[in-house]
Amino acid sequence: MRILQMLFCILACLAVVAAALVAAFLRDLLAVACCLLGAVVFGAAMFLARGRADANEAQTPRRDFMHPDAPDEHAEDDPDDDKKG
């Protein structure tokens, strides 16, 4: 999902650049409005992809690196438990 988020961000930036170039060279307000609308759509898609990526990351358990001695939910799967004592 992060790749999709970055792709939408780049496309939104390119749409803004295209709007600036169209405004500078062609002076066509309808074309500028279409480019800016595309930038808004890609920006919204970027934030939607970010929300879905954050929701997926919230579901995956993370290991606590600050407190490695804390009880872990996957402690029964640890093969080093037999060696510890």
Reduce the DSSP state of residue 52 to 3 states and report it. helix
Single-letter code of the amino acid located at 73: E
pLDDT digits (tens, 9 = 90+) for 7-56: 999 999 999 999 999 999 998 999 999 999 999 999 999 999 888 777 77
pLDDT, residue 50, reads: 84
Predicted structure pTM score = 0.63
Structural tokens at position 41: 């759509």
Region of 28 on the Ramachandran plot (φ > 0 left; ψ -120 to 50 alpha; else beta): beta
Band (pLDDT 50/70/90 cuts) for residue 72 is low
pLDDT, residue 32, reads: 93
pLDDT, residue 30, reads: 93
pLDDT, residue 65, reads: 74
Domain ranges of the chain: 2-59
